[in-house]
Amino acid sequence: MSDSSPTPPPASPDAASTNSEAELKKDQGNEHFKVERWADAVVCYNAAIELDPEKPAYYTNRAACHIKMENHGLAIADGTVALELEKTFAKAYYRRGSAYMALGKYKDALKDFKSLRQLKPTDRDALEKFKAAEREVKREAFEKAIRSDDANEVPITERLDPAQMAVESSYTGPQPSFPLTHSAVLAIAAHLKDQKTLHQKYAMQILIELHKQLKTLPSLVDVPIPQGTHINVCGDTHGQFYDLLNIFELFGYPSETNPYLFNGDFVDRGSFSLEVVLLLFTFKVLYPNHVHLTRGNHETLNMNRIYGFEGEVKAKYNTTMFELFTACFHCLPLAYCLGKMIYITHGGLFSRDDVMLDDIRKVDRFREPPDEGIMSEALWSDPQPMPGRAPSKRGVGLSFGPDVTANFLNRNGLKMVVRSHEVKDEGYEVEAGGKLCTIFSAPNYCDQMGNKGALLRFDHNGEYEVKQFTAVPHPNVRPMAYAGGMQSMFGF
């Protein structure tokens, strides 16, 4: 029986040339990807797509870069386009499902991994991804079923009485008493540096005391910078404890004359997150008016479950301690205003033009962040070079332009926005005509990015110096070592 379908016409020389050039750009992107130059790879894949927008593989290759760069919203969009071009393109389900998992959208991830399994029923990796998503969906359903709606339930910080805990005679570490002293905190830092665990009794006492402090603060805290003084502002530290200690060695430990503000994302990714956040919390207890801590998008339950902090705390302590950390995260302020001039928040600005500082002060932050609104946008948003607003490349929050920054500053009588949330090659980046600065303090992020770290030192006039630094060695524990089965999802 002959095939009566028409024979397609041969490709024109111009079309063949365009396809060849697109493949060349794709190959160049693949070479950049192999050596972890994600941004350069994206540029090449962009060029390939512009030349030939009908190839689903170009979109899934770009999606892989976006996942590495934590631009999960863009990865989801690329996976969706690839599936519109070819509904049975397995890599598109894989990439989009991985991006959904990274955002904690487990039901969406499960659908994609189910489709992937149908396309590749004997693929072991597809089965593992499906099982991981299925576990999370079942866990969420179980937790929803047992969650207490009793408003009178006693908070964990009030149920615990660490004073009654015994300290084993075998424990030889610090035994701090309260009120804390600077030397006691340095002893804790040295103990943690030696990869030893502070006894749970003392860790609990620190967290409970911190919780008492934090819950009295508004969601936006005003911090003066008296004449002749300064304040150091750091960005993400992401569990890089030995780099945190290096910051203190280079620029001074926190004190009443050397205050610090750490702008969120203390935990996850790096596998010394417990040490980072416990030391920062201890310094906050010691110097409540001179150490300031902003909540980041990784001081949230979903992110902690995916990126390692939950697993790390349970490995080094237990579930009770993780619940105690979560209670403290719920109390962290969303923003600070330094010297009535500098607005500091982890992520960025808002979907509305009329947000005033008082609106931020009044936000009910004592919870997990909602999907939208001031709290979510403060934790997740990013700047963009174009005016106006656009959907977030991350899939949460939004992208906001320099005009949005200028309007927010003008309406609130401020000079500058400082935010973190994004790795920068030099440890910082100034945008919006000098009105916005991103600061990032985790050098060689995840042991692979090769970036510098930086902090900003502000004086009483609101002027700042940039202090840069490079990564230092740390014990041989890989990033996301406590993330369970999630490492392979994101290339670790």
- Is 298 a known active-site residue? yes
pLDDT (0 to 100) of residue 1: 40
Helices 90-102 & 124-146 angle (0-180, nearest 10): 30
Catalytic residue among 32, 199, 292, 298: 298
| Residue 375, both tokens | 């709290």
Partners of 417 in the beta sheet? Answer: 343, 436
Residue labelled with tokens 């203390």? 266
pLDDT (0 to 100) of residue 142: 87
Residue labelled with tokens 């050039």? 21
The burial of 342, by beta-carbon neighbours within 10 Å (0-12 exposed, 13-18 middle, 19 or more buried), is given as buried
pLDDT (0 to 100) of residue 13: 53
- Domain range 174-490, its CATH number among 2.60.120.200, 3.60.21.10, 3.40.50.300, 3.40.50.720: 3.60.21.10
Partners of 468 in the beta sheet? Answer: 454
Which of these, 334, 342, 458, 321, lies nearest to 397 by C-alpha position? 334
State how beta strands 389-391 and 398-400 pair: antiparallel
pLDDT (0 to 100) of residue 484: 77
pLDDT (0 to 100) of residue 4: 46
3-state secondary structure 242-254: HHHHHHHHHHCCC
Other CB atoms closer than 10 Å to residue 120's CB: what's the count? 15
pLDDT (0 to 100) of residue 492: 44
* Torsion region of 108: left, alpha or beta (phi above 0 gives left; psi -120 to 50 gives alpha): alpha
Q: Which H helix or E strand runs over 336?
A: strand 335-338
Q: Which segments of the chain have a pLDDT < 50?
A: 1-5, 492
Residue type, 446: C
Q: In this structure, which topology does domain 13-145 adopt according to CATH?
A: 1.25.40
Residue type, 438: T
CATH 1.25.40.10 residue spans of the chain: 13-145
| Residue 288, both tokens | 């409540």
Q: Which H helix or E strand runs over 316?
A: helix 309-316
Q: Which H helix or E strand runs over 45?
A: helix 38-51
Q: What is the DSSP letter of 255?
A: B
Question: pLDDT digits over 189-224, tens only?
Answer: 999 999 999 999 999 999 999 999 999 999 999 999
| Residue 17, both tokens | 């040339």
Residue labelled with tokens 């009588």? 413
CATH 3.60.21.10 residue spans of the chain: 174-490
